[in-house]
Homo-oligomer: A and B are copies of this chain.
Amino acid sequence: MSGGQQVCRHWCIAARPRGAPRTEDFCLEQSELPEPGAGEVLLETLYLSVAPVMAMYMSGEAVADLPALDIGDVIHGRGVGRVLESRRDDVQPGELWHGQFGWRTHRVTAMTPAERFYRFTATDLPAHLALGALGMTGYSAYCGLVIAGRVKPGSSVLVSGAAGGVGHVVVQVARALGCSPVVGIAGGEEKCELLRKLGCDVAIDYRAGSLEQDIRMALPDGVDFYFDNVGGETLMAVLENLSHRATVLLCGSISEYTREQPFGLTNYTRLRRHDAVMRGFYVYNHTAEFASAQAQLANWIREDRLQPVQNVVDGFEQMPAALMGLYTGRNSGKQVVRVKAGET
């Protein structure tokens, strides 16, 4: 470790994507890592997260607390890594931490609050879960249902992007909380089969028919809680199917991230008739509850009540391909890339 600078590889923005990113929008570069200074640590990246919102980062939008990126900048992204060197009292070599790594093989960082670093404590479970069911992805599901939504046993839960990183945890947490029926929306029969296996009472293939009618068929009394991962026309179809005092939980809008024209929601006024609410939430407004949620989710995994679906691709050089794959709609579960060979 000591006695010479580490070499770090990183992926940068070569060009602004138009719609979904393409190969030529990425550029792989290399640099020397500085030694960690006072208050800094050196982390070796084990896994990096790949998420639909990254298209927004690449197009230069400031999302949440993350600064807007210029062409040439390293792409934002969360990762989990092992501490190689630490010049902080609260961080020890060998520990696993997840946080804002960017698309990098190594990271020297002062772990500023904006970088949202957390220690990964469920070390009996695979480290890549720190980017999925046991990281901010799983916490989005938990936070939406439990903290923002306060869902009740017996309520119906509908979730879009249900086979995705957040969605597949929503399905299983809703089940664990006693919600019923639990209905998932996904694209294609393969994903729908996965959803039924994970506990969905009904899985709706949005490509197969009329979504608005299929929702009505599955939930004739209306949707009590809708967990929205996709926005766009799917959200509109759900707004036509609300129950009295329904709650729409706004988590993500994958269908909107790669549009060239912004999406306009024309039927938000449907909330009126049903005394319904559309409730936004942001996991980083709820970091105080993260540790206990992580412990609860880890226990559900150990009890086999929550099966994380983690899609692990090997090799740092595969980052662009892994991201581009998300927009084709073929992936299920949480997409991560194994950066450090041999990690389980």
Q: Which of A276, A277, A285 has the most CB of B within 10 A?
A: A277
Q: Decide if B250 touches A285 in the complex (CB within 8 Å).
A: no
Q: Is A302 positioned at the interface, with any CB of B under 8 Å from its CB?
A: no
**Interface size of A as a range:** 20 to 34
Residues A255-302 near B (CB distance < 8 A):
256, 262-266, 268-282, 285
Decide yes or no: A265 and B268 within 8 Å by CB, A277-B278, A285-B244 being known contacts.
yes
Q: Decide if B64 touches A269 in the complex (CB within 8 Å).
A: no
Q: Decide if A279 touches B280 in the complex (CB within 8 Å).
A: no
Residue of B nearest to A265 (CB): B265
Q: Is A105 positioned at the interface, with any CB of B under 8 Å from its CB?
A: no
Assembled-state Cα–Cα distance A282/B264 (Å): 23
Assembled-state Cα–Cα distance A283/B273 (Å): 9
Residue of B nearest to A264 (CB): B264
Partner of A262, one of B263, B266, B271: B266
Residues A221-257 near B (CB distance < 8 A):
231, 244, 250-251, 253, 256
What B residues does A251 contact at CB under 8 A? Answer: 272
Q: Is A122 positioned at the interface, with any CB of B under 8 Å from its CB?
A: no
Q: Is A110 positioned at the interface, with any CB of B under 8 Å from its CB?
A: no
Q: Is A148 positioned at the interface, with any CB of B under 8 Å from its CB?
A: yes
Assembled-state Cα–Cα distance A266/B253 (Å): 12
Assembled-state Cα–Cα distance A276/B275 (Å): 16
Chain A 183-216, CB-CB to B under 8 Å as 1, else 0, gives: 0000000000000000000000000000000000
Q: Decide if B285 touches A280 in the complex (CB within 8 Å).
A: no
What B residues does A263 contact at CB under 8 A? Answer: 264, 266
Partner of A272, one of B268, B269, B277, B280: B280
Q: Decide if A278 touches B268 in the complex (CB within 8 Å).
A: yes
What B residues does A256 contact at CB under 8 A? Answer: 269
Assembled-state Cα–Cα distance A161/B316 (Å): 55
Decide yes or no: A268 and B244 within 8 Å by CB, A273-B64, A275-B282, A280-B277 being known contacts.
no
Q: Decide if B250 touches A268 in the complex (CB within 8 Å).
A: yes
